[in-house]
Amino acid sequence: MEYNEKQKQILVTAEQLFSTKGFDGTSVRDIADAAGVNIAMISYYFGSKEKLMEALFEQRTTNIKVKVESLLKDDSTTPFQKVEILAEDIINKIMSKKQFFKIMMCEQVINKNPVVMNLMYDLKKKNLEEFGKIITDGQQKGVFKKDIDFLLLYNMLVGSISQMMITIDQYREYNNLTNIPEEQVYEQIKKKLSENIKVLFKALLSYEA
C-alpha cells in the first residue's frame, strides 16, 4: 500500500515512540502530539493504535516471497547459490531496520500483545513456506540432503541475525571497534554473518559434510 506524506510521518513517529516506550506504553495522543497532528487524523488514516501497528508491520517486515520466486526461475544459479543469495537478502533487510527490530524484540519478550504476536507468527509462517521452496528445489535436484529441518535452518539464520543485533555493543568492544561509526560496524557484521551462514548451510545441506 502507498502512503501519503502525512501517513508516513505518523508511521515514522509511531515507530520511534514504540521503540522507546513500547507499544503498551505509547498512546495515540503521544503519537499525535509528536507527529504534530490531531488524534482524529490518526483515527481517520489508521483506525486505531493496533491498526497503526499493523500498517507499520506491513511497511517494515520482510516478506521473501518475491525474492524466492525470482530465484526459482533462475536456472543459471545453483541451489547452493540460491540459498546463499536468499540468506544474504534476509540479513540485509533485517539489519537495515534496526529501530523496528528493537520493537519486535521487546514485544516478543513481553509477549502481551496478541496483535503483534499474531502478525509475527503469520509472517514467520509465510517466510518459512517460501524458504522451504528453495530447500525443496535443491532436494529435487539431488543437491541437498533429504532430511532437512526447514524450521530449524530458518531459525538458525534469523536467530543469528537477532543475536548479533542485540549484542552489537559487546561485539564492538570485543573487536576494538568502539571508535568506528555504527553503520560501518553493521556493514562488517553483515559481511561476517553472510560468510558464516554460507559455511553453516553448506555443512547442513550438503551430502559432502
Digit-coded pLDDT (tens) for 79-102: 999 999 999 999 998 888 888 888
Q: Which CATH superfamily groups domain 5-58?
A: Homeodomain-like (1.10.10.60)
Kindly indicate the confidence band of residue 11, based on its pLDDT and cuts at 50, 70 and 90: very high
Q: Where are the alpha helices (DSSP H) in the chain?
A: 5-21, 28-35, 39-46, 49-60, 65-73, 79-95, 98-110, 114-140, 150-166, 168-174, 182-205
Under CATH, which architecture does the 62-205 domain have?
A: Orthogonal Bundle (1.10)
- Indicate the pTM of the whole model: 0.82
Counted residue by residue, the chain has a size of 209
Digit-coded pLDDT (tens) for 140-166: 999 999 999 999 999 999 999 988 888
Checking if the pLDDT of 209 tops 60, the result is: no
Angle formed at CA 92 by CA 118 and CA 76, multiple of 5 degrees: 105
188's CB contacts (< 8 A; 6+ apart) are 177
Where are the domains positioned within the chain? Answer: 5-58, 62-205
